[in-house]
Amino acid sequence: MTDFLQFLNTAELKTLTQVPGVNRQLAGNLIAARPFDAVEDCLNVKGMGKATFARLESFAAEQDQPAGNSAMVPVTEEAMPAPVEKNQSAQDSAQEHDSFLKRLGRAFLLFMKALVRLIMLAILFVAVGAMFYFGLPYIQKTFIAPVEENTAQIQRMEAEIANLQEQLDEMNGRVTTLEDSIEAHTASIEKLEEMQASLEEQLQENNDALLLELKHEAMFTRALDTLARARLYLAQSNFGLAKSDVQAARDLLFELEDETKDEILSQAVTRLDMALGNLPDFPVVASGDLEIAWQILILGNAPAPTATATVTVTSTPTAASLVTETPFAAPEVTATPTAFPPPTP
């Protein structure tokens, strides 16, 4: 038994697998369980049965005996081939059953792992879908919609700025036109003033009726140009200069009315006095009086009122409102006004 114990503790894997009924797994279990203190300890190894134990013992005895005496070894009842083959088949069947159960367990484990991965993948897809379904409206509402609204507001503001710029350019054009008209009237007034002074000198030297008529026409035209410039000053909201021009035109017409005794000039002077009373506090009312005085001088009579209205001025108008409500473009006087009767000698 000592030789058999040594065989169990020293036999290699290749040698053990040569024993009928000992596969590589059982041989590995025997090698892993070494060393054995007694030969019976190998029965505790998994897969080891009494029949296999007997075959191991017979194989170890054959290895110890010489080759020529192998036929002299008595065959015991335990080592008979038939029982060995029967036990070996039962053990192989048990091992095959265990192997099938292990393969089935591994297959079930792989199936469960695949199922878990599939579930995790489905959860991931659901999470991504939920993120797109709920996240896109949130992003649209929180980020994209405010940006689009701000863009629309910026575009509206740019359009308003462009419109205001056009209005400003138009106002600048009107202001430039008013300034040019004022300069033209100023130059005309200066020439008429020089003409009037020259005619007065000639009248002092020669009291001629024709010269006197020319003087009256020069005074009348000068008064019209002065009133036209006053209307332009009102359009610029320059009420101080407008009042000065109205006063100058009124003095000229009063002097002319005193010399000619013309009732039309008296009506115009009355309207100009009303305009002077409304300047600079009520420029809109003064503008209406100035318009009536202008039509009296041009047409020879005052326009018939179409309705009676009460004018209430609550604030001082701007130049833009005056230009919009009452056009103050300076008219070009091309027709000779009605000849005044010559003064009585």
pLDDT tens digits, one per residue of 293-341? 999 998 876 555 443 333 333 333 333 333 333 333 333 433 334 444 4
Counting residues of the chain whose pLDDT is more than 70, the rounded percentage is: 76
Instruction: Give the confidence band of 246 by pLDDT, cuts at 50, 70, 90.
Output: very high
Helices 81-139, 50-64: axis angle to 10 degrees equals 120
Q: Per the omega criterion (within 30 degrees of 0), is the bond before 280 cis?
A: yes
Region of 160 please: left (phi>0), alpha (psi -120 to 50) or beta: alpha
Question: What pLDDT is recorded for position 227?
Answer: 92
Q: The tokens of 323 are what?
A: 């230009």
Q: Identify whether the C-beta of residue 33 lies closer than 8 Å to the C-beta of residue 45.
A: yes
d(C-alpha 5, C-alpha 245), whole Å: 146
Mean pLDDT, the chain, as a whole number? 78
Report which of residues 194 and 76 the model is more confident about. 194
CA 21 to chain centroid, in Å, comes to 85
The Cβ of residue 299 has, within 10 Å, a number of other Cβ atoms equal to: 10
The Cβ of residue 65 has, within 10 Å, a number of other Cβ atoms equal to: 11
Q: Kind and range of the H or E element at 10? A: helix 2-10
Instruction: Give the confidence band of 118 by pLDDT, cuts at 50, 70, 90.
Output: very high
Tokens 């503790």, residue?
9
d(C-alpha 152, C-alpha 234), whole Å: 41
pLDDT in tens, 191-240: 888 888 888 888 788 877 888 888 889 989 999 999 999 999 998 889 88
Report which of residues 57 and 344 the model is more confident about. 57
pLDDT at 67 over 80: no
Quick one: 61 exposed, middle or buried, by C-beta within 10 A (0-12, 13-18, 19+)? middle
Tokens 């505790």, residue?
44
Question: What pLDDT is recorded for position 270?
Answer: 93
Query: Taking the alpha carbons of 70, 76, 79, 81 in that order, is the dihedral positive or negative?
Result: positive
Q: Which residues contact 252 (CB under 8 A, 6 or more apart)?
A: 219, 220, 222, 223, 226
Helix, strand or coil, per DSSP, at residue 112: helix
Task: DSSP letter for 75, please.
Answer: P
Helix, strand or coil, per DSSP, at residue 1: coil
The stretches of 236-262 forming alpha helices (DSSP H) are 239-260
Q: Per the omega criterion (within 30 degrees of 0), is the bond before 345 cis?
A: no
d(C-alpha 226, C-alpha 238), whole Å: 14
Q: Kind and range of the H or E element at 148? A: helix 145-205
Helix, strand or coil, per DSSP, at residue 332: coil
d(C-alpha 91, C-alpha 97), whole Å: 10
Q: The tokens of 247 are what?
A: 């006063």
d(C-alpha 220, C-alpha 91), whole Å: 147
d(C-alpha 296, C-alpha 304), whole Å: 11
Entry pTM: 0.43
Q: The tokens of 121 are what?
A: 């993948």
Q: What is the CA radius of gyration of the chain?
A: 66
